[in-house]
Amino acid sequence: MSVRLIVADASHKTGRILADLLRESGVRLTTSGEDAVISYGVRMPEGRLPTLNAKSGMSDKYEQLRTLLKAGVRVPPLYGEAANIQFPLLARKRQHRAGKDLMPVFQPEEIPWRLAAGAQFFVQYVPVADEYRVWVYRKSHLGTYEKTMVRPAEYKKIGRNYKNGFAFRLVDSDRVPRGAVDEAVKSVAALGLDFAAVDILRGKDGQFYVLELNTAPGVEGPNRQVIQGLVRKWTNWVKEGYPRRANVA
């Protein structure tokens, strides 16, 4: 049995790591004549071949949030839909990466200004206690990273990402918040995915809010424990004859 691994263009470095790990685990990769497909961040058309994460690569982040909300997942309140929304807001674009689109909105008259500057929707700013990236395969929790400030002098823009001085630190399994895992598993199912790295914040109010799902997350640093666990799940999927998700007919 052979498998084709399809990786989003922006994730080519991670794609090479994934391909090496799959080969090491005994999976035969091919670029044609495959028996099954694994997608890493690329939305796949309906087809006859078994495919992991065919619905990945959902580029419209606004629709992603609305889908999660309808499924009962807690997300930051959406301006124009949530009742009693409070300022400040965050102006967003429907398509974005690494929080580069974030623009603060402090009062109502700024909304048309942000729209003129390219914003396409708004969410309420939630004061952050902690922020996590929770990796999930189907209903299994693979591991959780916490976004930790390590280079304060680089915090020049809003957003908790590498360019703003943050790093991902693996959280010990006994310290992972169960509430974050539950929301992550629910989110993956809600979007019809097989796996994702789910960005979740714990607000100062103690609630967990799902920010977005990453279907082609990058791998930072030498600690690849979680992505190795993901590849083991893929390998088992191949060896078991490509079983479908339990909630898929």
Give one DSSP letter per residue of 57-86, joined into a string.
Answer: ----HHHHHHHHHHTT---PPBTTTSTT--
C-alpha torsion angle, residues 222, 225, 226, 230 (rounded to 10): 110
Terminal-residue alpha carbon distance, the chain: 24
Q: What is the overall mean pLDDT for the chain? A: 92
pLDDT of residue 193: 96
- Residue 74 CB coordination number (10 Å): 17
Which element (helix H / strand E) includes 104? Answer: strand 103-105
C-alpha torsion angle, residues 44, 45, 50, 51 (rounded to 10): 10
pLDDT of residue 247: 61
pTM above 0.85, yes or no: yes
- The residue among 156, 81, 162 whose CA lies nearest residue 122 is 81
d(CA 204, CA 127) in angstroms, rounded, equals: 6
The pLDDT of 88-93, averaged and rounded, is 95
Residue 248 above 60 pLDDT? no
Give tens-digit pLDDT for 190-231.
Answer: 999 999 999 999 999 999 999 999 999 887 656 688 999 999
Question: What is the percentage of the chain residues whose pLDDT exceeds 70?
Answer: 96
